[in-house]
Every structure is written in C-alpha cells, then in structure tokens.
A and B are shown apart, each in its own frame.
Chain A
Amino acid sequence: KQEVTQIPAALSVPEGENLVLNCSFTDSAIYNLQWFRQDPGKGLTSLLLIQSSQREQTSGRLNASLDKSSGRSTLYIAASQPGDSATYLCAVRPNSGYALNFGKGTSLLVTP
C-alpha cells in the first residue's frame, strides 16, 4: 500500500524566506504527483501536477521537483509571503486507477 509522508508537519518562517517542503512515497510506480494548498475551512486547490516522466514544474514563485526512483518530491516556495500561509498537501496517483494517496500535509505559517 502506498504511504505518503510529508516533513515537516508544521513550519513557521519570516516573510521573504525561501523554503522547501518535502514529500516522500514508498511505491515508485506512480502516474503523477500533485501538490495542493488547503486554506482553513476550505477545499483543496491544485498548485502543480508533475507527470511521472517529468522532473519539475514551475508556477510563479512555486517550483515542484520529482525524483521518482527515490520516491521524493519537493515544493520550493520563493520569497514567501503571509498569503502563502496554508496547509500544503502532496498526493500521488498510482499507475493503475485514479485514486490519489495523500500525505497529511505541512502547515505553513509565514509571519510578517
């Protein structure tokens, strides 16, 4: 069974810092990996999707990388802002089926 782990569980940084969130998964037979953002009391918003054949994806200040063979992904946030405060979840889709396996998330707080 695919296990997805996110470290750290919580992170607090001052505004302007660059930061890295980590995601690891136990089964490298994945179709793709997604990073989501969840604000308190809200649903999830997809940030980046990396196909298994890709190494990274970028959107604005966000960059996600994927090393499928080692079962790792990172989400890099440049020049963090208080508006980035949220919980970030990664999810992997297996080669068969559409069921996503989610990590428990990293709760990020960016202080002014």
Chain B
Amino acid sequence: DAGVIQSPRHEVTEMGQEVTLRCKPISGHDYLFWYRQTMMRGLELLIYFNNNVPIDDSGMPEDRFSAKMPNASFSTLKIQPSEPRDSAVYFCASSPGTRGGDTQYFGPGTRLTVL
C-alpha cells in the first residue's frame, strides 16, 4: 500500500481565501484523523471519523473549519475563510481500529501558509 496520501504538500494562500486539504487513508482502515501541528501548541487532534462518520470534532477550532468523509477512501478538511493563525502543518492519519491494531499511520502532511 502507498500509505496515507495527502495533497497538496504545500499551500500558500492569502487571508480570506478558502483552503481545501485532501487525504486518502490506507485501504481497509476504519479510522481517519486530522491533526494540526504548530511550534507553539504541538500536535493537536482536530477531528476523527469512524467508518466515514465524524465521532469527535471537539478539536476543530471554530466554524471556519469543516471536515467531510464522503467515502472510505477520501476526506477533506476545509478552512473558509482562512486566517494567518491557521498557518501550520496539517496531518491526516488512519488506523485499522481495534480489530487490526491501534497504530495510527500518518501522511506526510500539508504545510499551510496563510499570508
């Protein structure tokens, strides 16, 4: 398997623009996670899905952030409108779940810069 795939790898945008980050989890994994990493706050969980259903979105910072998982092989994280404080590295991870093990497999991340 190719592992977790994220696109784009880098995104530079201007404040107020809409940003969409994409993730393809490992085939057969039941769980998908979105994380954000900054120097100040480290790695923080934003939201996670189980079988395409959002389970915990308490980490989503505000209504400007939304995430969807329309099918088992694709998820998006959208920021609208974007702000400079959203600049961070956004990681997607997937996990097989209890049946297959708890280990989370991370994608390479999307480095977002909002000017």
Residues of A within 8 A of B (CB): 31-32, 34, 36, 42-46, 49, 89, 91, 93, 97-105
Contact = CB atoms under 8 A, between A and B. Distances in A.
Interface of B: 4, 31, 33, 42-45, 48, 50, 55-56, 59, 91, 93, 95, 101-109
The secondary structure that dominates the B interface is: strand
B76 to A, nearest CB: 18
Contacts of A101: 45
A108 B43 CA distance: 18
B52 to A, nearest CB: 15
Contacts of A45: 106
25 contacts: A34-B102, A34-B103, A36-B106, A43-B91, A43-B93, A43-B106, A43-B109, A44-B91, A44-B106, A46-B105, A49-B101, A91-B43, A93-B102, A97-B56, A98-B31, A98-B48, A98-B50, A98-B55, A98-B56, A99-B45, A99-B56, A100-B104, A101-B45, A102-B42, A102-B44
A93 B97 CA distance: 13
Contacts, number: 53
A93 B33 CA distance: 13
A105 B42 CA distance: 8
The secondary structure that dominates the A interface is: strand
Contacts of B107: 43
Nearest to B4: A43
Contacts of A97: 55-56
A64 B18 CA distance: 42
A110 to B, nearest CB: 23
B64 to A, nearest CB: 21
Contacts of A46: 103-105
B55 A49 contact: no
